Chains A and B, each alone.
Chain A
Amino acid sequence: MTATILEKSGFNADKKLKVVGTNPIKHDGVDKVTGRAKFGADLFLPGMLVGKILRSPHAHAKILSIDTSAAEKLPGVKAVATRADFPEIKPGSIGGDMTRNAMAREKVLYDGHPVAAVAATSEAIAKAALKLIRVEYEVLPHVIDPVEAMKPGAPILHEHVRTKGIKDADKPSNVIERLDLAMGDVEKGFADADVIVEREYDTKPMHQGYIEPQSCVATATEDGQIELWCCTQGPWVFRDRLSDILKIDAAKIRVQQSEMGGGFGGKTGFYGEPVAVQLSRKAKRPVKITLTRNEVFRATGPVSGTKSRIKMGVTKDGVITAAEAELVFQTGAFTGSMFSNAPQAMFTRYNLKNIKTISYEVVSNRPKVNSFRAPCVPQVVFGVEGVIDELARKIGMDPIDLRLKNAATEGYKTIYGDVFGPIGFVETLQAAKKCEHYNSPLPPGQGRGVAAGFWFNKGGETTGTLNIAVDGSVTLILGTTDVAGSRISISMMAAEELGIPVDKVRAIMADTHSLGFNRVTAGSRTTFSTGMVIVDSARKAITELCKRAAGIWGVPEEAVTFEDGHCRPASSNVGTFEPLSIAQIAAKTMMTHGAIAGHSEMNVTGAGPGFGLHIADVEVDKETGRVDIKRYTVVEDAGKAIHPLQVEGQFQGGAVQGIGWALNEEYFYGEDGRLQNASFLDYRMPVASDVPMIGTEIVEVPNPKHPYGLRGVGEVPVVPTMATIANAIGHAIGIRPNSLPMSPPRLLKLMDEARARNGG
């Protein structure tokens, strides 16, 4: 039986901490400010070829034939790959979908879907070779909008799909699944309500927008070994999926993660990697594939767009009695949206007894969606928090007070069956209510909005090793990817346990040969889970240190205790011995029993749910419809901020991503089903001049399951952002937008409608 959690976390709220809670410079920082850090595209190998991918110009078409003969003859072309180079895997299986997304087989399903690839001695030759490949298509009718895709007669993407969750579904459908999730009795709940609000909402797919396009280098050898360098949030998951779809032993694939130039969920699945591997297997030379920004937009995963209907009821004195939702998630060409998060999380933070939800996941002719911070939750919280705001207004209650009145506390049983341990939602709301921003007068012409959000936070399979060098300094081998600063936070926990300065610790991100399986870095699990594994490793190393000290002193093991970086006699009865530092013991390892290390693998549980409340002040230009965010504050429970500056950075970054999603970011598809704004110029993410400073307030209600009380902090900051801004806009212009993005033309139209309704 393997440990699933650190049996005794040793959490102690009164423990005086020396390292945890401070803000040391992150150890990977110097390489990043000097240009030395190696990201995905920064590996250059001798004999390396350039790989390029030919992509479908059609949203939906049958592939009748592919002729690569002219490309193969072009001097400098070393390999060409098509569907014929990928093993056949049954459509509809996980591997079947993955291989078809990496390289189209029977059909192309979206503009940008890969159909062939070449590896050549230069980029210019590779591009010229792509132009020589002849693909014959039979163009099929396509469907972009998920609601259209649900209608009878819509073009069908996958003939094998029968809707899961619908009894006796016997016809092909674009609806992958219907999921019903409910608790209590909503009819009775609504009967008990004095005020009921029901609204419809619409959110658009948004791209994760990492600045580093996916890039990889694959090297295959004559004896079947594969080395893959890539920017990935999950080296082990990449390895095992490659093993599955390419039919190669996992042990023959070594994935080494590069530095990660932004992922946010978008690098949890692969794109060019299997293609680079197959090209390298043919060419027997390293092949690098770096996606262009155009390819990133056309073919890598945005997050799901949604259509939703949300209904909630409240009594006059502010008790929410029932909630109901119907949700449609656009998943792109293949399933995998993780839409089940939405009905589980959308109302969770309120003490609700009666909930009913129906959710649908729908395919359409767009790139397969991928994860993004709190997958599928911000989209529906956009609606839930709008309804709550309206309920508060209708019963004349302060919006934070209504949330406080209904806030879930320890012991609440969630719709997904978990019972909350100690959580900090009430404390978060109280902190927000007390903060200077919420109590400051609102300048004339501005609107203020608030909204709350929740994320489960996650654990999962995690491994790690801690090694003590002969001089007493320490190296950590971590399996999870560092997406923004987890190496330093985890190093700090190791230093705290060992009683040494954090400068004596260095961490590396392992390749897949060095450690056992690690789940992807996602769901705000990394600092929590890998932190726990490294604390466990440190404690194992401490046990060994005590054993060595006992040997040196010639006393029994139990007569030695470890405190403040030193082995000491457990009591005065043991004898008089000068304490031994880690360095002193490590220096003797040659004479004792060799190196001292700790290793741990766990399927980590015990993640502490996270809650946040955001406050925004906005001004809407009545002539242009442009929204100016004047002030923004994030209040969130971190459990314990290991490195407060990093935590603030997560709050601020998440909020600004949400601001982009709220105000500007959307995809434009033409009648032909092709993406029309596949560039950073036309897909408008926030720039520095679009946003103000983002205020932060870190609430710390510890999670006792973790040695240092931490929760996760990466997902929650984006969850309530769009709702917060919409509520603020609603306050400013008198009508709450229920459709994203709240871009100038949309807001102008909305203000015109409001004026017309109010008689001009």
Chain B
Amino acid sequence: MTKRHHITTTVNGDEYEFLCEPQQTLLDALRDEMMLSGTKEGCATGDCGACTVIVDGTMVCSCLVLAVEAGGAKIETIEGMAQGDKLHPLQQNFLELNGLQCGICTPGILIAAKALLERNPDPSETEIRYWLAGNLCRCTGYDKIIRSVQAAAKEMRGD
């Protein structure tokens, strides 16, 4: 088969090395090579957002990024969101307000929401809805997701 590439990358502060095929996606490398299966595949075509991660500060669908592009990058995934025993305020509010049902879209939505609140600590409902429009959820009807993000934003602002 095709020659495999040796990639070194940083995920949630830890250095990882892996071998990948040139056509392999970052999503597959995270799940299959680095065993970080918290990032989910819903479509592999960039339409559902379940695989959302942060690469060098930019929110991306990891199914649309090649694994070889991760070389030297700093990647943040759902596994790095809680700090020790302390859940991120988004995680905590999703739990308390029932912002998740089945939970398959939750990692992607949490990563996307975190990226939003880092840019805009006080988003309106409409801004949250449009920011999360790339993350499909089929269970909740979005209501409790939006409310969880609003509550986390409020908590993080210290209002």
Residues of A within 8 A of B (CB): 23, 25-26, 28-39, 41-42, 44, 76, 122-125, 208-213, 259-264, 290, 292-293, 483-485, 645-646, 648-649, 652-657, 679-681, 685-691, 693-694
Residues of A within 8 A of B145 (CB): 688
Chain B residues lying within 8 Å of A260, measured Cβ to Cβ, are 102
Contact of A35 among B37, B136, B139 (CB under 8 A): B37
Report chain B residues within 8 Å CB of A41: 31, 37, 40-41
Interface residues of B in 38-82 (CB under 8 A from A): 38-45, 47-48, 50, 77-79, 81-82
Within 8 Å of chain A (Cβ to Cβ): is B142? yes
Contacts of B143 in A (CB 8 A): 648, 652, 693-694
Assembled-state Cα–Cα distance A42/B87 (Å): 22
**B29 contacts the other chain (Cβ, under 8 Å)?**
no
Asked if B142 and A656 make an inter-chain contact with CB atoms under 8 angstroms apart, the answer reads yes
B82 to chain A, nearest CB (A): 6
Determine the chain B residues whose CB is within 8 A of the CB of A686 once the complex forms: 141-142
7 A-B pairs with C-beta separation under 8 A:
A23-B98, A34-B79, A34-B82, A210-B104, A211-B102, A656-B140, A689-B133
Contact partner, B138, options A38, A124, A657, A691, Cβ 8 Å: A657
Distance A124 CA – B1 CA, assembled complex (angstroms): 8
Interface string of B122-159 (1 = CB under 8 A from A): 00011011101111111111111111000000000000
Within the assembled complex, what's the spacing in Å between the Cα atoms of A618 and B54? Answer: 37
Q: Using Cβ atoms and an 8 Å threshold, which residues of chain A touch B146?
A: 688, 693
- Chain B residues, CB < 8 A from A483: 101-102
Select which of A32, A208, A653, A694 is within 8 A of B106 by beta carbon: A32
Interface centre among B28, B36, B48, B110 (most CB of A within 10 A): B48
Number of A-B contacts (CB under 8 A): 192
Give Cα A25 to B91, complex, Å.
Answer: 12
Decide: B47 and A42 in contact? CB cutoff 8 A: no
Is A688 within 8 A of B133, CB to CB?
yes
Interfacial chain B residues near A28, Cβ < 8 Å: 103
In contact, B38 and A652 (Cβ under 8 angstroms): no
Closest to A660 in B: B138
Contacts of B140 in A (CB 8 A): 649, 652-653, 656
Chain A neighbourhood of B79, CB < 8 A: 34-35
A38 to B36, CA, bound (A): 11
Residues of B within 8 A of A213 (CB): 41-42
Kindly identify which residue among A31, A37, A656, A679 contacts B43, using a CB–CB cutoff of 8 Å. A679
In whole angstroms, how far apart are the Cα atoms of A35 and B91 in the complex? 11
**Chain B residue with the shortest CB-CB distance to A34:** B82
Please state if B97 and A211 are interface contacts (CB–CB under 8 Å). Answer: no
Interface residues on B, range: 35 or more
CB distance from B11 to the nearest CB of A (A): 12
Do residues B95 and A649 form an inter-chain contact, with CB atoms below 8 A? no
Judge whether B95 and A29 touch: CB under 8 Å.
yes
**Could you say which of B45, B48, B103, B128 has the most chain A C-beta atoms within 10 Å of its C-beta?**
B103
Residue pair B100, A293 in contact (C-beta under 8 Å): no
Nearest CB of chain B from residue A24's CB, rounded to whole Å = 10
Chain B neighbourhood of A657, CB < 8 A: 138, 141
B128 touches A211 (CB 8 A): no
- Chain A residue nearest in CB terms to B126: A689
Q: Are A687 and B133 in contact (CB under 8 A)?
A: yes
The verdict on A35 contacting B77 (CB below 8 Å), with A212-B102, A688-B146 known, is yes
Do the beta carbons of A679 and B23 come within 8 Å of each other? no
A681 to B47, CA, bound (A): 6
Residue among A652, A654, A688, A694 having the largest count of chain B Cβ atoms under 10 Å: A688
Assembly CA distance A32 to B126 (angstroms):
26
How far is A582 from B44 in the complex, measured between Cα atoms in Å?
Answer: 50
Contact between A210 and B138, CB atoms less than 8 A apart? yes
The contact of B101 among A39, A42, A653, by CB within 8 Å, is A653
Write out the residue numbers on chain A whose beta carbons fall within 8 Å of the beta carbon of B142. Answer: 652, 656, 686, 688, 691
Contacts of B128 in A (CB 8 A): 688
Residue of B nearest to A632 (CB): B141
Q: Is the CB of A679 within 8 A of B138?
A: no
| Residues of chain A with a CB closer than 8 A to B41's CB | 41, 213, 290
Tell me the nearest residue of chain B to A645, going by C-beta. Answer: B98
**Per-position 1/0 for B81-121, Cβ under 8 A of A:** 11000010001001111101111111100100000000000
CB atoms of B37 and A211 under 8 A apart = no
The complex places the Cα of A309 from the Cα of B9 at a distance, in Å, of 62
Cβ contact within 8 Å between A33 and B106: yes
- Assess whether B38 is in contact with A34, with CB atoms less than 8 Å apart: yes
Distance from A600 Cβ to chain B, minimum over Cβ atoms (Å): 27
Contact indicator A30/B129 (Cβ below 8 Å)? no
Chain A neighbourhood of B44, CB < 8 A: 292-293
CA distance A123 to B101 in the complex (A): 31
> A687's contact among B1, B98, B134, by CB below 8 Å, is which?
B134
9 additional A-B residue pairs with CB within 8 Å, beyond A210-B104, A259-B103, A261-B40: A41-B31, A293-B42, A293-B48, A483-B102, A484-B101, A645-B98, A648-B144, A653-B139, A688-B128
CB-defined contacts of A38 to chain B, threshold 8 Å: 37
On chain B, the residues within 8 Å of A123 by CB distance are 28
Complex formed: what's the CA distance from A228 to B145 in Å? Answer: 33
Let me know if B42 and A30 touch, CB within 8 A: no
Among B82, B110, B142, find the residue whose CB has the most chain A CB atoms closer than 10 A: B142
